[in-house]
Amino acid sequence: MKKIAFILLTLFLMVQQIYSQTFEIKSPNKNIRLQVVVNGEISWSASLNENVIIKEARIGMNFSSGQDFGTNSQVKRHSIKEYSSIITPVIPHKDAVIKDEFVQLTLTFKGKYQLKFRAYNDGVAYQFADESTSDKNVMEEKMSLTFPEGARSFFPKENKMYSHNERLYLKKSLVEIASDEFCSLPVVFTTDNAKVLFTETALHDYPGMFVKGNGSTTMDAIHPKFVLEIDTKKKQDRHQTITKEADYIAKVSGSRDYPWRVFMISDDDRTFVESNLTFQLSKPLAIKNTEWIKPGKVAWDWYNANNIYGVDFKSGLNTATYKYYIDFASSNNIEYVILDEGWTKSTTKILDFNPDIDVPELIRYGKEKNVEIILWVLWKPLDANLVQILETYKSWGAKGIKVDFMQRNDQYMVNSYEKIAKECARLELLVDFHGSFKPSGLRRVYPNVVNYEGVKGSENNKFSKSITPEHNVTIPFIRMAAGPMDYTPGAMINRQDADFQINFERPMSLGTRAHQVAMYVVYEAPLQMLCDSPSIYYKEQETVNFISQIPTIWDETIVLHGAIGDYIAVARRKGSKWYIGAMTDWTSRKLELDLSFLKEGNFKMEVFRDGKNANRFAEDYKIDIIEVNKDSKITAEMSAGGGWAAIISIKDINK
């Protein structure tokens, strides 16, 4: 009997070897190697400089009818091609010119589907493509990622899929992550030799992905189910109770591409900040006229609870208060003011405004002052009457909307994002998705989508002590790798840890004033907030004068230093000027900044740095003006929770 079993096993292995096919591609610089094995199932692995980083990834898709992907798979043909082109983003949140260079392996399978793999210098990606024309349901998408022993993660743990996706990044060994623990994307995995940042892009008409643990070094993909019923009896303005879900994750029709699964791979943390992979793998621009899309800064009301003072009227949700915001914005070259929660007649009656706030008058007054108005709106009532609401706002003269409290990642919600973006593009309205999942490629298709939240940002200062300097130097490497983030910086009440107090009406930030100022260079956000009260900003005009010089879009980005959760220093160019932002965690640091990226000549550098007493009094800062050139090496000295920022004028200081 044992002899028969041995013979059968041998025959099975021989058959597997006969039908097993292996394919390999390397990145253009040859440092990353991706190997694909097809032996009925589909798996792949990736290495960096010959060190295995992703040990094995098993992938596939199961459907209600037709051919499953990755089951009894047989390759009909394959091709390997090199590609190189230039992408020029409409809204350059990082670089105005992106070199899109990669090697692509295309596998065409029996059963009318393809699988594309790409190897870039900064990572790999794969995408399934369905060539059939049938209607069917996606029952599940399979992806099991196995990392080498000892792998760890920066784990944005979720309690449920109905979520704002605003999380802290927990440092956890993969073997410590149980099967009932899961996280949203992006997520970073750490091996002995490199890190992997995993996320998705080109997400259209399909649910967003999460990954869960199982007590080993393997992580598995999961998705929210297709939503069949919502409890409409509960009178909730922003939250939903899902009462019935399908046993599938998506309905699909006809031939289509599925999302790109993106894996940035590097042994240098700076790569995750510099990488444009999620943009490169997005679908191309879908609108013709983009001249009207204007990024800029925003004077924002909700963080500071409309607390203005030193005026001869009662501040709050009223016309006089918002005219004060507009006057502040106008006098400081701030392009926008947001009317956040409270401007509508109620949170559900959003076609009419609060009787104390004359919205058309504010829009008229703003235009007179060269300041545009953006209107906050809840997703639920907007989704129920999208076209009429947006056309009404457009008729008033609003420039855009801030959509809040989506909280879902299922197929319907993903489609709703695109529906909103498309309709707003038709009406020439900007979109800021707040209460959202991470950017997933939509901003390239519809560049009027200028920002996403999906990040645990400064508004949490109002009710928690979770927004620490360590968190602030973690998110640029992880969340920001997916795209711009609506963190809402600019707090002027700054405290060291021992002095911090939670105050909803008068919030304060952890870390120094220079830490906040540096965010305007470090954090990517084409629509960037100034979160504090105009009354406070007037008293801190020197800080505002510095911030108001910093652009919100960039021509070039260079990361000078970076370690996830420890520190970061970024240099960005806009036109003929360079801007540098550096931030640290609770550890005081000195970072040497090499200015060799400058051209020949002498230049003026205006520096905003921690004051000598910032370790005790976080609002202490100093502004210096010095002369530098391309041979200069400047030391950015930062206090605990500190920062450092500079503006370099590309004009000879002697002229």
For 397, the token pair is: 């003269």
Distances (CA, A) of 398 to 117, 123, 291, 527: 43, 41, 17, 15
Q: Is 50 a catalytic residue?
A: no
DSSP 439: -
Report the 10 Å Cβ neighbour count for 382.
Answer: 19
404, 410, 532, 566: which is the annotated catalytic residue? 404
- DSSP per-residue string spanning 43-110: EEEEEETTEEEEEEEEEEEEESSSPPBTSSB-EEEEEEEEEEEEE--SS-SS-SSEEEEEEEEEEEET
User: Which one-letter amino acid corresponds to residue 421?
Assistant: A
Residue 73 identity (one-letter amino acid): S
Asked if 411 contacts 205 with a C-beta cutoff of 8 angstroms, the reply is yes
What 8-state DSSP symbol labels residue 459?
A: G
Residue with tokens 């983003």: 89
What torsion, rounded to 10 degrees, do the Cα atoms 391, 396, 402, 407 define? -40
Distances (CA, A) of 430 to 13, 417, 446, 505, 604: 58, 13, 10, 29, 35
Among 200, 459, 486, 619, the one annotated catalytic: 459
Instruction: Phi first, then psi: give them for residue 649, nearest 5 degrees.
Output: -85, 125
Indicate the DSSP class of residue 285. Answer: P
Phi, psi of 547 (to 5 degrees): -60, -40
Is residue 341 annotated as a catalytic residue, yes or no? no
Quote the DSSP letter at residue 613. T
d(CA 464, CA 437): 21
Q: CA 431 to CA 271: how far, in whole Å? A: 28
Q: Is 29 exposed, middle or buried (0-12, 13-18, 19+ CB in 10 A)?
A: exposed
Looking at the annotation, which residues are catalytic? 404, 459
